[in-house]
């Protein structure tokens, strides 16, 4: 008996679907079977029982410089301040989002120490911007334009390739992928900010972005804290990144290291950079980089590190490779990889005592000095955000210092 053609087609479709399902199930097997290689279930975020921010948090150990008994007056010529500044790249349109942030940081910290604020912009600041910012601090405010040659897309970047790759990333829902100024901002924060003439005589900086929040009173001079311990870098939040934005960042880094093996510090953070157990699919998609990084909208850093031969050569290599435009390399993974490779991990500090929020993540310690955030709460919003927390790996491979 002949079988009608539509039925034959249906039968064939069934066989194909069955084969496809069998293939999918087999493909999924390695993740389902528990193994000694890694977690048997996908990472869902830090276990509450491991959350260090639920433990009472005090001040760091050792000698601390306080406003009491030291001269931190804003205009003092011989103040106890070290050569450091609060820096912020910001647009005029963000003034109303910057003011509450400045007020937070002034209230919790800077009104005691009066470090200068230096604002950077690719366009001139308005008089209104200058007036309103200076009005919320006793400290000196300075307004700087980013030199054109630090901001412009380098001549070796091909605009057609940029547009095409931006379009491809946009289809993968990568935020800002087709916004040229965002790429320029990331490149400036990666390899240019520390070259600005206004920072020439400074050693330490604290980066501040509009809209971020500070929750805890900090009663010691954090820049002196860094200097006294010869610290390279301080952070609050440690995250995974979107691998699609940095597909070739690690391969380019490996090329660079093959030529410059001596640049790697003996006490480096390679294990943290290359872990492939916590989120194997991330490490795979980023071609060997775990994507873990210090979230750079907050950073307290030593400019000496960025001005070093190692960092300069590394940045130039990356810049030539084109990924700031052809992908969407962020300054956070670039800084973090450089720190993980070239810095001494004992010189990187987790500021657990600085309560901080940049939407949607938080660093909120359990301390009577903090107000307005929930201790140990890492994210605000959708539950899937929990798994973007990379601190378990950082604590495991580097430590909680
Ligand atoms: N002057 C200036 N600042 C920018 C520009 N793009 C971004 N920024 C600043 O760079 C920082 C990061 O930008 P933001 O929009 O917050 O990016 P996100 O935090 O990654 O969502 C913020 O301090 C912005 O004010 C720009 O085109 N010009
Ligand atoms: C401070 O740290 C830098 C970089 O890690 C190092 O080169 C320098 O020797 C250190 N200085 C002191 C005084 O320990
Ligand atoms: Mg931001």
pLDDT digits (tens, 9 = 90+) for 321-339: 999 999 999 999 999 999 9
* Residues whose CB falls within 8 Å of the CB of residue 123, separated by 6 or more in sequence, listed in order: 91, 92, 145
Give the Å distance between the CA of 220 and the centre of ligand 3.
26
Q: Is 215 left (phi over 0), alpha (psi -120 to 50) or beta?
A: alpha
Q: Is residue 378 domain-shared with residue 254, that is, in the same domain? A: yes
Q: Token pair for residue 28?
A: 């999924």
Q: Token pair for residue 345?
A: 């991990």
pLDDT of 41:
86
Q: Token pair for residue 324?
A: 């700031």
The answer to whether residue 357 is domain-embedded is yes
Q: What is the pLDDT of residues 101-132, one digit of tens each?
A: 999 999 999 999 999 999 999 999 999 999 99
Provide mean pLDDT across the span 35-40. Answer: 52
User: Over 80: is that where the pLDDT of 311 sits?
Assistant: yes
Provide mean pLDDT across the span 33-56. Answer: 80
Q: Is residue 233 domain-shared with residue 274, that is, in the same domain? A: yes
- What is the helix (H) or strand (E) element at residue 365, kind and residue range? none
User: Over 50: is that where the pLDDT of 22 sits?
Assistant: no
235 vs 222: CA distance, rounded Å: 12
Instruction: Kindly indicate the confidence band of residue 284, based on its pLDDT and cuts at 50, 70 and 90.
Output: very high
pLDDT of 38:
52
Residue with tokens 């301040």: 81
Q: Is residue 120 domain-shared with residue 268, that is, in the same domain? A: no
Active site residue 164: no
161 vs 20: CA distance, rounded Å: 36
The answer to whether residue 35 is domain-embedded is no
Provide mean pLDDT across the span 228-256. Answer: 98
Q: Is residue 70 domain-shared with residue 161, that is, in the same domain? A: no
Atom of ligand 1 nearest to the CA of 181: 27
The answer to whether residue 388 is domain-embedded is yes
The answer to whether residue 114 is domain-embedded is yes
Ligand nearest to the CA of 239: 1
Provide mean pLDDT across the span 245-264. Answer: 98
Q: Is residue 286 domain-shared with residue 198, that is, in the same domain? A: no
Atom of ligand 2 nearest to the CA of 305: 4
Q: What is the pLDDT of residues 154-212, one digit of tens each?
A: 999 999 999 999 999 999 999 999 999 999 999 999 999 999 999 999 999 999 999 99
Q: Is residue 237 domain-shared with residue 127, that is, in the same domain? A: no
Active-site entry in 106, 299, 327, 388: 299
- On whether the CB atoms of residues 44 and 387 are closer than 8 A, the answer is yes
Shortest-distance Cα residue to atom 6 of ligand 2: 230
Q: Is residue 131 domain-shared with residue 278, that is, in the same domain? A: no
Shortest-distance Cα residue to atom 17 of ligand 1: 182
Q: Is residue 242 domain-shared with residue 120, that is, in the same domain? A: no
Q: Is residue 98 domain-shared with residue 180, that is, in the same domain? A: no
Q: How far is CA 146 from CA 38, 134, 185, in A?
A: 46, 20, 11
The answer to whether residue 262 is domain-embedded is yes
Instruction: Kindly indicate the confidence band of residue 29, based on its pLDDT and cuts at 50, 70 and 90.
Output: very low
Q: What percent of the chain has pLDDT over 90?
A: 90
Give the Å distance between the CA of 207 and the centre of ligand 2.
22
The answer to whether residue 58 is domain-embedded is no
Q: Is residue 80 domain-shared with residue 183, that is, in the same domain? A: no
Ligand nearest to the CA of 347: 2
User: Over 80: is that where the pLDDT of 242 sits?
Assistant: yes
From 89, 186, 241, give the residue whose CB has the most ligand 1 atoms within 8 Å, as the site to mutate: 89
E runs forming strands in 101-247: 117-121, 141-145, 204-207, 213-214, 233-235, 238-239
Q: Dihedrals φ, ψ of 295, to 5°?
A: -75, 110
User: Over 90: is that where the pLDDT of 11 sits?
Assistant: no
> How many angstroms separate the first and last alpha carbons of the chain?
78
In this structure, what CATH number is given to the domain that contains residue 333? 3.90.550.10
Q: Which residues pair with 348 in a beta bridge?
A: 233
User: 68: domain range?
Assistant: 64-146+192-211
Q: What is the mean pLDDT of the chain?
A: 93
217 vs 144: CA distance, rounded Å: 29
Which range has the worst mean pLDDT, 6-15, 60-69, 118-127, 158-167? 6-15
The answer to whether residue 382 is domain-embedded is yes
Q: Is residue 155 domain-shared with residue 246, that is, in the same domain? A: yes
Q: Is residue 110 domain-shared with residue 99, that is, in the same domain? A: yes
Q: Based on the structure, what is the number of domains in the chain?
A: 2
Atom of ligand 2 nearest to the CA of 230: 1
Give the Å distance between the CA of 178 and the centre of ligand 1.
14
Shortest-distance Cα residue to atom 9 of ligand 1: 90
* DSSP secondary structure of 234-253: EES-EE---GGGGTTHHHHH
Q: How far is CA 44 from CA 39, 200, 276, 389, in A?
A: 11, 44, 15, 9
Shortest-distance Cα residue to atom 16 of ligand 1: 209
Q: What is the pLDDT of residues 336-385, one digit of tens each?
A: 999 999 999 999 999 999 999 999 999 999 999 999 999 999 999 999 99
Residues lining ligand 1, judged by CB closer than 6 Å? 89-91, 94, 121-122, 181-182, 185, 209-210, 297
């Amino acid at each position: 008996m002949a079988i009608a053609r539509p039925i034959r087609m249906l039968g064939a479709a069934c066989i194909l679907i069955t084969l496809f399902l069998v293939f999918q199930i087999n493909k999924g097997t390695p993740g389902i079977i528990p193994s000694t290689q890694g977690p048997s279930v996908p990472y869902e975020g830090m276990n509450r029982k491991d959350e260090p921010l639920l433990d009472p948090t005090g001040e760091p150990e050792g000698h601390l410089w306080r406003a009491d008994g030291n001269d931190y007056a804003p205009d003092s010529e011989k103040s106890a301040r070290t050569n450091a500044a609060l820096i912020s790249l910001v647009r005029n349109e963000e003034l109303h989002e910057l003011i509450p942030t400045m007020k937070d940081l002034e209230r919790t910290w800077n009104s005691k120490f009066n470090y200068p604020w230096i604002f950077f912009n690719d366009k001139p600041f308005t008089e209104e911007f200058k007036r309103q910012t200076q009005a919320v601090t006793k400290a000196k405010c300075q307004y700087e334009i980013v030199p054109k040659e630090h901001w412009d897309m380098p001549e070796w970047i091909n605009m057609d390739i940029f547009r095409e790759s931006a379009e491809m990333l946009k289809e993968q829902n990568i935020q800002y992928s087709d916004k040229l100024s965002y790429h320029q901002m990331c490149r400036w924060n990666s390899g240019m900010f520390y070259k600005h003439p206004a920072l020439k005589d400074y050693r330490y900086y604290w980066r501040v972005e509009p809209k971020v929040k500070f929750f805890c009173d900090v009663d010691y001079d954090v820049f002196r804290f860094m200097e006294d311990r010869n610290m390279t870098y301080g952070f609050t939040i440690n995250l995974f990144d979107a691998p699609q934005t940095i597909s070739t960042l690690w391969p380019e880094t490996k090329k660079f290291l093959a030529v410059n093996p001596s640049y790697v510090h003996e006490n480096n953070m390679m294990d943290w950079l290359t872990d492939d157990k916590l989120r194997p699919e991330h490490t795979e998609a980023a071609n060997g980089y775990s994507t873990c990084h210090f979230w750079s909208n907050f950073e307290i850093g030593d400019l000496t590190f960025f001005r070093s031969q190692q960092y300069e050569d590394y940045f130039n290599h990356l810049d030539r490779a084109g990924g700031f435009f052809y992908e969407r390399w962020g300054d956070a993974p670039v800084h973090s990889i450089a720190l993980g490779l070239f810095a001494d991990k004992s010189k990187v500090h987790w500021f657990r005592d600085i309560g901080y929020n940049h939407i949607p993540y938080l660093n909120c310690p359990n301390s009577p000095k903090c107000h307005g955030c929930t201790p140990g709460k890492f994210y605000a919003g959708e539950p899937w955000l929990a798994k973007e927390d990379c601190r378990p790996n950082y604590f495991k491979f580097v430590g909680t210092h």
